[in-house]
Structure 1
Amino acid sequence: MDIRRRNNVTVTGRAGGQVLLLAHGFGCDQNMWRLVVPALARDHQVVLFDYVGSGHADPDAWSEQRYGSLEGYAQDVLDICEDLDLRDVVFVGHSVSAMVGVLAAAQAPQRFSGLVMVAPSPRYIDDDGYRGGFGADDIEELLESLESNYLGWSAAMAPVIMGNEDRPELGEELTASFCATDPDMARVFARTTFLSDSRADLKTVAVPTLVLECRQDVIAPREVGAYVHAAIPGSRLVTLEATGHCPQLSAPQATAAAITEFTGGAR
């Protein structure tokens, strides 16, 4: 199988530089990184891709069985690393992809030298002693709404997820990204994302890790960032002066600067 075509892989930046593998979240694609790539590409080799079921990845490669679990997305990451023979990789994962990176690094530790977790959440549903930001009923209602009217759900939820009400163009962009995703594939990815519980996997992280959170984020509140930071010994927690769940769009300069500072220290 042509992995590069399957996952719409693109490579840019400085050949021989520290490899950054950028992974998008639910409802998005690699285009979500475009505002941080120019800054990152000055000193790094940047690898971007779309998960199968997203963006311009090959839709014929999608199956509900594979992509009904986070392990399926982690396998996309590992396939790309093997196909490009990537080593010493710093994996940069947004939202649910932060946990995908944790799974991939646990399966192939020889390929990864660091993790950057952008607005991560190991579990979205509150639990005893844990605040994920949502009650179980909230998530079930969210998923039922998504499944009954995906386009309507996207139009309503994307601006909430993005935040930054004073910059409506950001919410409009995320809405367009959601709406460009195949609804059937999006439904599976949504259930995989919002019903996941990856808290136990955090203890497997054995590489330098940066946890990037926003000062206000309805999807991954700051209690979640604190939890992830505490669960990964030696990790670094940085709170960006940004709001919403997508700092790579709302605060690209600060996001790129934090990643660059981290990689300089992680090498």
Structure 2
Amino acid sequence: MKTIQQRNNVKVIGKGEQTILLAHGFGCDQSMWQYIAPALAENYRVILFDYVGAGDSDITAYQSEKYSSAHGYKKDILDIIDELELKDIHFVGHSVSSMIGMLAAIERPECFKKFVMIGPSPCYINEPGYTGGFEASDIAELLTMMEMNFTGWANYLAPVVTDPAKDPQLTKNMEQSFVSVDPQIAREFAEMTFMSDHRKGLASMTVPTLIIQCSDDSIVPIEVGDYLHAHLPASTLHVMQVKGHYPHMSKPTETRQLIEEFFLINTEEDEWQWKNG
């Protein structure tokens, strides 16, 4: 039987006293942190991992029932925390990992010190009084496309979530990342991601949180960042002037600087100075 570290392909880089746990988003694996992880490791101990079914994780550990809910992925994060005996974590989650990590922080707030959400959304579907970015029919069509033509879905989605005019290589990399995932697992992960609604849990999140919102994100509209900031009790919102859903890849230096500056805030005076430049 494989260990938790083998199951999730856990890697540790850097030797800093403070730990950063990086959690990748949908259709990705830990390689998506390659543009910021080495620089973070100069000052921090950085933990990287793949969700089961992604990257070099143990695909035999995948169970559809467990991973049909974000709570299944949350359990894996808590397993990693326990296995490595982590405490006072700085957590950085991209996209759906923001909500998965939030569930872990609500359950075990004593394990977390600071929290960063990159391109997060608590709910992707529009409802009266709430802009999520998609109609329910849009999500149904996306899931059907994944079933009928998986490669075609990847080729469609990659330019939607990136900026192919400015960075065609990033778009190509995302296409390759999407098609590398087992189609059934990818489809189930997509359903878990886009059909979830975590809005009711936001008020229970007590860990200081930085929300990084992209100004032109086809997956997460600007209204979502505003909603999160209004409903997360200890949150700060920063809007990056960038197109796409992957600022840690398209604008890695700026993203990393935002993350590290937020981690260094310890007092109200620090926070005021940071927000006011």
Please report how far the alpha carbon of residue 100 of structure 1 lies from its aligned counterpart in structure 2 after TM superposition.
Answer: 0.3
Listed as ranges, the matches of 1:197-212 within 5 Å are 197-212=197-212
Please report how far the alpha carbon of residue 164 of structure 1 lies from its aligned counterpart in structure 2 after TM superposition.
Answer: 4.2
| Aligned-partner Cα distance in 1 for 2:163–2:15 | 33
| Aligned-partner Cα distance in 1 for 2:39–2:152 | 35
- Single out whichever of 118-127 and 154-163 deviates more from structure 2: 154-163
Instruction: String of CA shifts for 1:137-194, please: whole Å, max 9, x gaps.
Output: 1111111111211111011111211234221111100110011101111111010001
Conserved 8 A contact 2:23-2:94:
yes
Q: Which residue of 2 aligns with 1:12?
A: 13
SS in 1 for 2:210: strand
Call closer, same or farther: CA 1:266–1:90 in 2, change over 3 Å.
farther
Q: Which residue of 1 aligns with 2:67?
A: 67
Unaligned stretches of 5+ residues in structure 2: 268-277
Listed as ranges, the matches of 1:131-146 within 5 Å are 131-146=131-146
| Aligned-partner Cα distance in 2 for 1:164–1:117 | 24
| Aligned-partner Cα distance in 2 for 1:234–1:102 | 13
- How many residue pairs were aligned? 266
Call closer, same or farther: CA 1:50–1:85 in 2, change over 3 Å.
same
Conserved 8 A contact 1:146-1:153:
yes
After superposition, the CA RMSD in angstroms is: 1.1
| Aligned-partner Cα distance in 2 for 1:205–1:182 | 33
Letter in 1 for 2:235: S
Q: Which residue of 1 aligns with 2:196?
A: 196
Q: Is the aligned partner of 1:127 residue 2:140?
A: no
Conserved 8 A contact 1:11-1:46:
yes
Conserved 8 A contact 2:123-2:132:
yes
User: Taking structure 1 as the reference length, what is the TM-score of the superposition?
Assistant: 0.97
Q: Is the aligned partner of 1:102 residue 2:97?
A: no
| Aligned-partner Cα distance in 1 for 2:79–2:198 | 21
Instruction: String of CA shifts for 1:8-33, please: whole Å, max 9, x gaps.
Output: 000111332x2110000110000000
Please report how far the alpha carbon of residue 266 of structure 1 lies from its aligned counterpart in structure 2 after TM superposition.
Answer: 4.8
Conserved 8 A contact 1:86-1:111:
yes
Unaligned stretches of 5+ residues in structure 1: none
Listed as ranges, the matches of 1:28-43 within 5 Å are 28-43=28-43
Letter in 2 for 1:151: T
Q: Is the aligned partner of 1:261 residue 2:261?
A: yes
Conserved 8 A contact 1:164-1:244:
no
Q: Which residue of 1 aligns with 2:273?
A: none
Q: Is the aligned partner of 1:180 residue 2:180?
A: yes
SS in 2 for 1:242: strand
Percent identical among aligned pairs is 47
Letter in 1 for 2:8: N
User: Taking structure 2 as the reference length, what is the TM-score of the superposition?
Assistant: 0.94
Q: Which residue of 2 aligns with 1:57?
A: 57
